[in-house]
């Protein structure tokens, strides 16, 4: 195994361990443990981004550069969202959605380039279903607070764009599988989050752990899918 590969594996293992610790803290009913997340959560995405830097490069230079740039931009914006969502309340939720909306724009900017010909038409029903879901989430958010309705729908549409473009992406089979699993995990994570925030406000802390497990899994799967996209 080459040195960059070994370094990447070590960093990925560190990310998975930290993600497990953070999810355990998120699922804890003890508020003191919850507060420890100011240390774990902001460290997740930088660790994941560091792991990506050591990836051996393949594919055309321009496409490869864009893949790496889009991944770096998406991970940086996701980090901003992670930090924003450490605070409670509607304002934090708005900031978090804006940051993650930006991350999805970066992810989708690369995935759109990798789309299979004709995939857009084939995925139109999926896109429509996800759009309906986004509007539904917006309506549920509006019941909690009127100012959350439009941003939640817009965020849902951004997430749907990432999901549809990941489903439409062409590339090596392993990259496609990772990207699709990552997008699906992101959808599941945000669906649970929406239920917790807007529908079931007194949900058990275990649900927050589920949000974090699916979210950190999604970021890892997307990162692994991206680095294999140009292989």
Partner 1 sequence: MGRHAGRRARRASPARVLSAILGMVVAAGAWLYLVSAAITFGVLARSGTGAAWWLTGLAGTGAAACLLVALILAARLLRELGVLGTGPRARGGGRRASR
Smallest gap from residue 17 Cβ to partner 1 (A)? 23
Q: Which of 63, 76, 120, 203 binds partner 1 (CB under 8 A)?
A: 76
Smallest gap from residue 145 Cβ to partner 1 (A)? 5
Place of tokens 């914006």: 77
Q: Which two tokens stand for residue 67?
A: 């893949």
Smallest gap from residue 65 Cβ to partner 1 (A)? 5
- Of 27-35, 65-73, 125-133, 215-223, which segment contacts partner 1 by CB under 8 A? 65-73
94 is an interface residue for partner 1 by CB under 8 A: yes
DSSP for 63-120? HHHHHHHHHHHHHHHHHHHHHHTTS-SHHHHHHHHHHHHHHHHHHHHHHHHTBPTTHH
* Residue numbers 121-180 binding partner 1 by CB under 8 A: 142-147, 149-151, 154
178, 222 in Cβ contact below 8 A? Answer: yes
99 is an interface residue for partner 1 by CB under 8 A: yes
Phi-psi region of 139 (alpha: psi -120 to 50; beta: other; left: phi over 0): alpha
Nearby residues of 82 by Cβ (< 8 Å), 6 or more positions away: 41, 42, 44, 45
Smallest gap from residue 142 Cβ to partner 1 (A)? 6
Please give the Cα distance from 8 to 158 (Å, whole number). Answer: 30
102 is an interface residue for partner 1 by CB under 8 A: yes
- Return residues touching partner 1 (CB under 8 A): 49, 52-53, 65-66, 68-73, 76-77, 79-81, 94-95, 97-99, 101-103, 105-106, 109, 142-147, 149-151, 154
């Amino acid at each position: 195994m080459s040195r960059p590969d070994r370094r990447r594996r070590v960093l990925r293992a560190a990310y998975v361990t930290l993600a497990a610790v953070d999810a355990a803290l998120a699922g804890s009913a003890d508020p003191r443990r919850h507060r420890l997340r100011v240390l774990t959560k902001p460290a997740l995405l930088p660790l994941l981004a560091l792991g990506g830097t050591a990836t051996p490069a393949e594919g055309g230079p321009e496409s490869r550069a864009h893949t790496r740039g889009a991944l770096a931009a998406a991970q940086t914006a996701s980090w901003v969202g992670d930090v924003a969502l450490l605070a409670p309340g509607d304002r934090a939720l708005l900031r978090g959605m804006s940051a993650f909306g930006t991350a999805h724009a970066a992810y989708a900017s690369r995935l759109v380039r990798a789309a299979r010909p004709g995939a857009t038409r084939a995925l139109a029903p999926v896109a429509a279903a996800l759009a309906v879901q986004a509007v539904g989430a917006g309506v549920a958010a509006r019941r909690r607070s009127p100012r959350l309705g439009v941003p939640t729908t817009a965020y849902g549409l951004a997430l749907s764009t990432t999901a549809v473009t990941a489903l439409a992406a062409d590339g090596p089979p392993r990259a496609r599988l990772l990207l699709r699993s990552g997008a699906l995990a992101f959808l599941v994570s945000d669906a649970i989050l929406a239920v917790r925030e807007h529908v079931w406000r007194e949900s058990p802390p275990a649900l927050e752990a589920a949000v974090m497990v699916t979210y950190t899994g999604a970021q890892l799967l997307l990162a692994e899918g991206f680095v294999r996209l140009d292989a």
